[in-house]
Homo-oligomer: A and B are copies of this chain.
């Protein structure tokens, strides 16, 4: 009577393909590519007792020195509480420092220290190496195209804060190519 298994449980033996015009190839590749892409820094981070969240914070603090906590939350799209622990650890270990905002003293501007800059570079190096190798594998001329594809994968509303390529990074300093 009270079967635990409802009648529906018949196994489907055929693989899902592109039947419904679904691009499983790229879906799957994206999964594998991102996993391996993050595995490089993950190994380094483990030595510091850090995780991927630390990497992201460190990355953006180095990319946009002086950004505020609120701006960082907006870029990462996480909550204050999620950031709190990670940021505190980075500050305690002297990778990041907080400076009181000049205009608004409530704000905390975040800056990397030399130590934080060095770690950010160390984490980015293997990722950049992987990217360079991949671009070479598929004809290096296509760099721009890959960039455009990835940018187009991002939600349109968010593309503003990406400021890719052109080096219009964070305003201030910049200028580089």
- With a cutoff of 8 Å between Cβ atoms, the chain B residues found around residue A6 in the complex are 94
> A78 to nearest B CB, angstroms?
10
> A50 to nearest B CB, angstroms?
16
Whether, in the assembled complex, A99 has its beta carbon less than 8 Å from a beta carbon of chain B, the answer is yes
Q: How many angstroms from the CA of A117 to the CA of B131 in the assembled complex?
A: 34
> From A170, which residue of chain B is reached at the shortest CB distance?
B15
CB-CB under 8 A for A131 and B23, given A145-B138, A176-B18? yes
Are B152 and A18 within 8 A (Cβ)?
no
Whether, in the assembled complex, A48 has its beta carbon less than 8 Å from a beta carbon of chain B, the answer is no
CB-CB under 8 A for A17 and B167, given A26-B147, A114-B10, A138-B149? yes
Whether, in the assembled complex, A137 has its beta carbon less than 8 Å from a beta carbon of chain B, the answer is yes
Residue of A9, A112, A149 with most partner-chain B CB within 10 A:
A149
Are A16 and B56 within 8 A (Cβ)?
no
Q: Given B16, B28, B30, B77, which contacts A117 in the complex, CB threshold below 8 Å?
A: B16
> From A92, which residue of chain B is reached at the shortest CB distance?
B4
Whether, in the assembled complex, A70 has its beta carbon less than 8 Å from a beta carbon of chain B, the answer is no
Q: Given B22, B33, B127, which contacts A150 in the complex, CB threshold below 8 Å?
A: B33
Whether, in the assembled complex, A21 has its beta carbon less than 8 Å from a beta carbon of chain B, the answer is yes
Are B26 and A150 within 8 A (Cβ)?
yes
Q: How many angstroms from the CA of A167 to the CA of B63 in the assembled complex?
A: 41
Are A15 and B154 within 8 A (Cβ)?
no
